[in-house]
Amino acid sequence: MSAKLRDLTDLRIGVLCGGDSPERAGSLASGDHAHRALLSLGLNSELLDPASIRMDLLPDRIDVALLALHGPGGEDGKIQGSLETVGIPYTGSGVLASALGMHKPTFKGLLTQERIDTPRWVMVDPKISVESTLSMVRHTLGFPVFVKPASGGGSLAAGIAKDEHALRAMIEAAQADQYAEFMVEEYVQGIACTVGLVEVEGRVRTLPVHDVEPKGDFYDYASKHDASLRTEHCPSILPAPTTDTMKYLADRVLRLIGAHGVLRVDFMVGASGRVTVLECNTVPGLSELGNLATMAAAGGIPYPTLVQHVLQTAYTKPAYVP
């Protein structure tokens, strides 16, 4: 199916980036690169930071919003809801899919219902004692475990707890953290992989799989931003049945949450070949050096074209998306 594409020439495009989430720095990079790509295509783009604009004045200024916001507020349905309210078309998923994709325990619950493998997990409930949480983890997951915010991103505030002592310290630190909710996952030793999906001329394309082996314990914030701290391949060098499984699952995840236009689904591949879904990103990093752009390039899509495809997704949403 080939869709009729929107002529982008005379549109006033607002690239929304920054915001006030912990992922602000990554969002500014995404926005800056996407904005330059749009300018290089001769399009009319301006950078706008939702942390310092009035949403009700936005329709006087832009015709369409390219979302380059990551984390709470920008990726969880909130900005999407504001844009729906003021009547500005925006890229990517609607309110519901954004919320489902951002909240890891809800997303993992959906995967579990569909019998899609995801690491087992328990929530850190601040209303119960740290002792009780430690006991629950001991009996359900064992050690080591992986601790992360329920609505985090960029590997921020995430890490491995090798034993109960380390987990106790992490839970105590979590209670003072800006993220309201934390979870503890079964630790899966393996290779971190990701699969990008982007709509091209009305059809979702599954991009080549990206794999990474960080030099440290896991794919943390530092190794995501410093290429010397990781070894990566795109297309992945994992066996074809494994990469095919990830591509198949990425597409199922897109349908499962009702994501629109663009998505990145993250996996761990264990030593035995186990493919388990970690999480998904409805507004994946858009920087020219990021994983989505790397996967697009491996799939023959140059960076400015990728940004153009993402922009088109603002005009290919069904008339009503929850």
Ligand X SMILES: Nc1ncnc2c1ncn2[C@@H]1O[C@H](COP(=O)(O)OP(=O)(O)OP(=O)(O)O)[C@@H](O)[C@H]1O
State the residues that interact with ligand X by CB under 6 A: 119, 146, 148, 152-155, 158, 185-188, 192, 218-219, 266, 268, 278-279, 281
To the nearest whole angstrom, how small is the minimum distance from the Cβ of residue 164 to ligand X?
A: 17
Could you tell me the smallest distance in angstroms from the CB atom of residue 273 to Mg ion? 21
Query: Which of the choices ligand X, Mg ion, none does residue 187 contact, using the CB cut-off of 5 to 8 A by kind?
Result: ligand X
State the residue for tokens 């990554």.
Answer: 26
Give whichever of 72 and 89 is closer to Mg ion, judged by the CB atom: 72
Would you say 53 or 235 has its CB closer to ligand X?
A: 235
CA–CA gap between residue 69 and residue 27 (Å, rounded): 5
CB of 279 to Mg ion, least distance (A): 5
Q: Which does 268 bind (CB under 5 to 8 A by kind): Mg ion, ligand X, none?
A: ligand X
Dist CA 43 CA 50 (whole Å): 21
Rounded CA gap, 188 and 194, in Å?
15
CB 231 → ligand X: shortest distance, Å?
13
Spatial contact of 281 and 211, defined as CB atoms under 8 Å apart: no
What burial class does residue 106 get, using C-beta atoms within 10 Å of its C-beta: 0-12 exposed, 13-18 middle, 19+ buried?
middle
The rounded radius of gyration (Å) of the Cα atoms in the chain is 19
Shortest Cβ distance from residue 303 to Mg ion (Å)? 21
Q: Which does 119 bind (CB under 5 to 8 A by kind): Mg ion, ligand X, none?
A: ligand X
Complex with ligand X: residue 58 or 295, whichever CB lies closer? 295
Q: In this chain, which stretch among 45-53, 247-255, 264-272, 287-295 interacts with Mg ion, using CB under 5 A? A: 264-272
107 binds, among Mg ion, ligand X, none (CB under 5 to 8 A by kind): none
Tell me which amino acid residue 108 is: K
Residue 293's φ and ψ, nearest 5 degrees, are: -65, -35
**Total residues at the site for Mg ion (CB under 5 A)?**
1
303 binds, among Mg ion, ligand X, none (CB under 5 to 8 A by kind): none
Residues 6+ positions from 226 with CB-CB distance below 8 Å: none
Cβ closer to ligand X: 35 or 230? 230
C-beta separation of 215 from 223 below 8 A: yes
- Closest-by-Cβ residue to Mg ion is 266
CB 66 within 8 A of CB 34: yes
Task: Kindly give, in sequence order, each residue whose CB lies less than 8 Å from that of residue 176, ignoring residues fewer than 6 positions away.
Answer: none
Give the position of tokens 């430690």.
Answer: 134
Give the separation between CA 246 and CA 266, rounded to whole angstroms.
9
CB of 150 to ligand X, least distance (A): 10
Instruction: Based on the shown chain and the rule CB under 5 A, indicate whether residue 266 belongs to the binding site for Mg ion.
Output: yes
* Shortest Cβ 158–ligand X spacing (Å): 5
